[in-house]
Amino acid sequence: MRPLPDSMPELTPAPRGWWERDADDGERQFVSTPPPTRGPPAIEVRKLSKRYRGGVLANDEISLSIPRSAVFGVLGPNGAGKTTLVRQITGELVPTAGAIRVHDIDILERPLAAKSLMGVVPQEATPYQHLKPHEHLVFFGRLHGMSRSQARGRADELMAALGLEEHAGVTAVRLSGGLKRKLLVGSALMAEPSLLVLDEPTTGLDPHSRREVWALLESLRGRGTTILITTHYMDEAEMLCDQVAVIGAGRILAMGTVEELRGLCRRRYKATFENGAGQRQTVYGSAYDEVVDELARLDIHEYTIGKTTLEDLYLELTSQTLEESQYA
Ligand SMILES: Nc1ncnc2c1ncn2[C@@H]1O[C@H](COP(=O)(O)OP(=O)(O)O)[C@@H](O)[C@H]1O
Ligand SMILES: [Mg+2]
């Protein structure tokens, strides 16, 4: 595996803006995005609900606010409503109720302006298989209104930053899963979006490829790009995210920093051990001594004991019914 650079090289700024058809003469013109201002959050979601035609209420009054430059994780099991939430934020899906503002722009009122701020990597997206990596990047740059030479220049830089140069000669269909994902992330970054949206970017990848994608996202941190990522992997959320919203059955069950969420877990400590039948077993307690006493009662002398993790909270939350949830 090729190591990733510690930091991304400086990239040439792409034009920020979008193409709009003039109402009078029908000519397409480039409208520049105003430079980001301090103040309003990157994404503001208010009481967002989505009911699909079949009747499924996939998002139920979700509200959240994502500060600029934050890495925000939406964590939840399959079917929790993550993709539904993301597709409304990216303007692909019209909400049943509620409001979404991206950099203070209402996604329903001005979808083009809002979308021009975002780079999106949808769940299960695959690159155009017959394009080579550089062609793929240039293609996306051109879609975003870059000139051919601008797109080529930035594609050169991203090829290096993504570690794709040694794979320049092969078509996307022949790339490994991790490299395909990196190519898709790179393509979403071509127009230097203020906001990068990734729906389960590492699901189905092998451990090496996952780490490559993490390293890439890590290198984007602190560069001002706001990142919204969905995942059902706790370690991914713990590793990458400044803030996390845990969702289940379309509702937010808990939200905060990883530290704050760990603090919500009523079971603060846990011990794992092998029981008489050779199976791993876990005991939880709200205090260290409580766990030690329980182990003594069970006559267990070999164990590992530590603080509970985000995973323990996640399991606690997502295995409860919503009515029972203490944290909503
Ligand atoms: N196009 C659709 N039509 C009807 N129901 C859907 C559609 N897409 C998703 N759902 C349902 O909405 C719920 C949430 O799905 P989804 O947002 O894809 O969750 P996640 O991304 O967390 O796995 C699920 O019950 C799913 O079956
Ligand atoms: Mg999904």
Is residue 235 in some structural domain? yes
Q: 232 alpha carbon to ligand 1 midpoint, in Å?
A: 15
**Closest ligand to the CA of 84:** 1
- Whether residues 248 and 287 share a domain: the answer is no
Q: 169 alpha carbon to ligand 2 midpoint, in Å?
A: 32
Q: What tokens does 158 get?
A: 């991203």
pLDDT of residue 22: 67
Is residue 17 in some structural domain? no
pLDDT of residue 321: 40
76 touches ligand 1 (CB under 6 Å): yes
For the chain, the domain total comes to 2
Do 51 and 96 form a contact (C-beta atoms < 8 A)?
yes
Q: 65 alpha carbon to ligand 1 midpoint, in Å?
A: 22
What residues contact 35, with CB distance under 8 A and at least 6 apart?
16
Q: What tokens does 315 get?
A: 């399991």
52 touches ligand 1 (CB under 6 Å): yes
- Whether residues 119 and 182 share a domain: the answer is yes
- Whether residues 250 and 274 share a domain: the answer is no
- Whether residues 69 and 151 share a domain: the answer is yes
Structural domain harbouring 303: 262-324
Cα-Cα end-to-end distance for the chain? 42
Strand boundaries in 107-149, DSSP class E: 118-121
- Whether residues 157 and 82 share a domain: the answer is yes
- Whether residues 187 and 267 share a domain: the answer is no
- Whether residues 191 and 257 share a domain: the answer is yes
54 touches ligand 1 (CB under 6 Å): yes
81 touches ligand 1 (CB under 6 Å): yes
pLDDT of residue 286: 87
Work out the mean pLDDT of the chain and round it to a whole number. Answer: 86
As a whole number of angstroms, the distance between CA 262 and CA 204 comes to 26
Please identify, among 220, 240, 261, the residue that sits at the C-terminal boundary of a domain: 261
Given a cut of 70, the residues of the chain with pLDDT beneath it are 1-23, 28-38, 222, 320-328
pLDDT of residue 175: 93
- Whether residues 302 and 319 share a domain: the answer is yes
Q: What CATH number is given to the structural domain containing 112?
A: 3.40.50.300
- Whether residues 177 and 301 share a domain: the answer is no
Element containing residue 189 per DSSP (H, E): helix 177-189
Share of the chain above pLDDT 90, in %: 55
- Whether residues 99 and 63 share a domain: the answer is yes
- Whether residues 161 and 302 share a domain: the answer is no
pLDDT of residue 219: 79
Q: What are phi and psi of 226, to 5 degrees?
A: -80, 135
Atom of ligand 1 nearest to the CA of 78: 23
Q: Which residues pair with 260 in a beta bridge?
A: none
Model confidence pTM above 0.85: no
Is residue 242 in some structural domain? yes
pLDDT of residue 21: 65
- Whether residues 118 and 245 share a domain: the answer is yes
**Closest ligand to the CA of 88:** 1
Q: 79 alpha carbon to ligand 1 midpoint, in Å?
A: 6
